[in-house]
């Protein structure tokens, strides 16, 4: 039996651990929150000597006590770059002389196609491997609601980064459209009356199914689970990153025109479920990706 320690972003780490456990009962996968839980830090020290691999779902070029110990014990280290870690690495690259970017023993992965070129800029060469997976049983879409609406996710502590001002500008141009915002309890700016704050929600899929359009436009983004879940449930997605079966937009006007187009189709009952998106997600993000990840973590590649 081999042991893999999964550290990094707790939300993603827990989901990936569960997926790995479902496909591999012969080996052991332990997820530890070494960021925020003191007990997990102690567990990491105890488990590390017996581990085959340390798998960090969060890339870094800066020094980390957890990774330093793994290198010292000559453990296999795999980094999965997923989002804001790329921003931090690019910002600190010029000022960090002794960084992890040159450690050849690190295996770098990313779940986001456009990060491949971004990370090349700081001499990190990565392979694309999604950590989002969805089975066909999870893609049971329901019909669109009678009332047209748009769903977004904006976290409470990163409102400007996720586009709260842009949302307000768009909503004021579309007073007939209801905009639902998950993750946000109180906005930093006064919002148009047709913007409704949902606060923190535990099951995003329920709200995606109650929506017609899902929209996302942060300043920088990894391959969003919210976007992929929306596509898998056959919703229409407006996104500021190029991705199959989404509406790729750059300006406020493009967003407004796209929403108007979808709104009018829905009003005439001519808007059908986005079935092609579901088919694409089921192929590109199948559970087979977890088999590839397992092979990398356990060094099973031929």
Residue range 57-84, pLDDT digits in tens:
999 888 888 999 999 999 999 999 998 8
Instruction: Tell me: do 66 and 18 sit in the same domain.
Output: yes
Residues of the chain with pLDDT under 50: none
Q: Taking all residues of the chain, what is their mean pLDDT, rounded to a whole number?
A: 91
Residue 231 is predicted with a pLDDT of: 95
What is the rounded CA–CA span in Å between residue 58 and residue 48?
A: 18
Nearest Cα to 198, choosing from 184, 208, 177, 209?
A: 184
Instruction: Tell me: do 74 and 172 sit in the same domain.
Output: no
CA 110 vs CA 47, 119, 132, 157, 261: distances in Å: 26, 10, 11, 25, 34
Instruction: Tell me: do 192 and 220 sit in the same domain.
Output: yes
What is the rounded CA–CA span in Å between residue 70 and residue 77?
A: 7
Instruction: Tell me: do 292 and 262 sit in the same domain.
Output: no
Asked if residue 257 belongs to a domain, the reply is yes
Is residue 27 within 8 Å of residue 2, measured between CB atoms?
yes
Residue 100 is predicted with a pLDDT of: 57
**What's the token pair of residue 120?**
């090349």
Instruction: Tell me: do 141 and 277 sit in the same domain.
Output: yes
Asked if residue 114 belongs to a domain, the reply is yes
Instruction: Tell me: do 125 and 158 sit in the same domain.
Output: no
Nearest Cα to 58, choosing from 113, 7, 121, 129?
A: 7
Asked if residue 16 belongs to a domain, the reply is yes
Please, what's the b/e burial string for 262-296 (b: 16 or more CB within 10 A of its CB; e: otherwise)?
Answer: bbeebeeeebeebeebbebbbeebeeebbeebbeb
Asked if residue 42 belongs to a domain, the reply is yes
Asked if residue 142 belongs to a domain, the reply is yes
Is residue 289 within 8 Å of residue 130, measured between CB atoms?
yes
What is the rounded CA–CA span in Å between residue 80 and residue 101?
A: 13
Asked if residue 95 belongs to a domain, the reply is yes
Instruction: Tell me: do 189 and 213 sit in the same domain.
Output: yes
What is the rounded CA–CA span in Å between residue 79 and residue 86?
A: 12
Nearest Cα to 247, choosing from 273, 215, 219, 223?
A: 215
Instruction: Tell me: do 140 and 275 sit in the same domain.
Output: yes
Residue 101 is predicted with a pLDDT of: 52
What is the rounded CA–CA span in Å between residue 107 and residue 81?
A: 11
pTM given for the model = 0.81
Asked if residue 88 belongs to a domain, the reply is yes
Instruction: Tell me: do 63 and 20 sit in the same domain.
Output: yes
What is the rounded CA–CA span in Å between residue 183 and residue 51?
A: 36
Residue 62 is predicted with a pLDDT of: 85
Instruction: Tell me: do 127 and 140 sit in the same domain.
Output: no
One DSSP character per residue, 43-68 reads: HHHHHGGG-SEEEEES--SS--HHHH
Q: 57: domain CATH number? A: 3.40.50.2000
Asked if residue 302 belongs to a domain, the reply is no
Residue length of the chain: 302
Domain tally for the chain? 2
Instruction: Tell me: do 119 and 159 sit in the same domain.
Output: no
What is the rounded CA–CA span in Å between residue 129 and residue 199?
A: 32
Residue 91 is predicted with a pLDDT of: 85
Instruction: Tell me: do 53 and 72 sit in the same domain.
Output: yes
What is the rounded CA–CA span in Å between residue 214 and residue 179?
A: 10
Structural domain including 193 reads: 136-282
């Amino acid at each position: 039996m081999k042991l893999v320690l999964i550290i990094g972003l707790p939300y993603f780490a827990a989901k990936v651990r569960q997926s790995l456990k479902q496909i591999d009962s012969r080996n052991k996968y332990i997820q530890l929150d070494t960021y925020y839980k003191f007990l997990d830090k102690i567990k990491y020290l105890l488990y590390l000597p017996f581990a085959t691999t340390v798998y960090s779902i969060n890339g870094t070029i800066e020094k980390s006590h957890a990774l330093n110990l793994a290198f010292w014990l000559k453990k296999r280290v795999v980094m999965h770059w997923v989002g804001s870690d790329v921003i931090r690495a690019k910002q600190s690259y010029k000022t960090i002389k002794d960084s992890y970017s040159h450690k050849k023993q690190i295996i770098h992965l990313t779940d986001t196609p456009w990060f491949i070129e971004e990370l090349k800029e700081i001499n990190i060469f990565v392979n694309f491997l999604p950590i989002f997976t969805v089975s066909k049983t999870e893609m049971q879409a329901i019909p669109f609601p009678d009332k047209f609406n748009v769903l977004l996710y904006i976290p409470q502590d990163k409102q400007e980064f996720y586009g709260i001002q842009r949302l307000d500008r768009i909503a004021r141009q579309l007073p007939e459209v209801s905009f639902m915002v998950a993750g946000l309890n109180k906005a930093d700016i006064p919002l148009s009356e047709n913007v409704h704050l949902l606060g923190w929600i535990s099951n995003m899929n329920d709200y995606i199914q109650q929506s017609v359009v899902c929209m996302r436009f942060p300043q920088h983004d990894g391959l969003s689970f919210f976007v992929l879940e929306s596509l898998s449930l056959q919703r229409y997605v407006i996104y500021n990153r190029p991705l199959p079966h989404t509406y790729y937009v750059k300006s406020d006007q493009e967003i407004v025109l796209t929403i108007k187009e979808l709104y009018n189709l829905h009003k005439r009952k001519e808007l059908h479920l986005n079935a092609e998106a579901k088919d694409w997600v089921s192929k590109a993000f199948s559970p087979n990706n977890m088999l590839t990840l397992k092979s990398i973590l356990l060094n099973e590649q031929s």
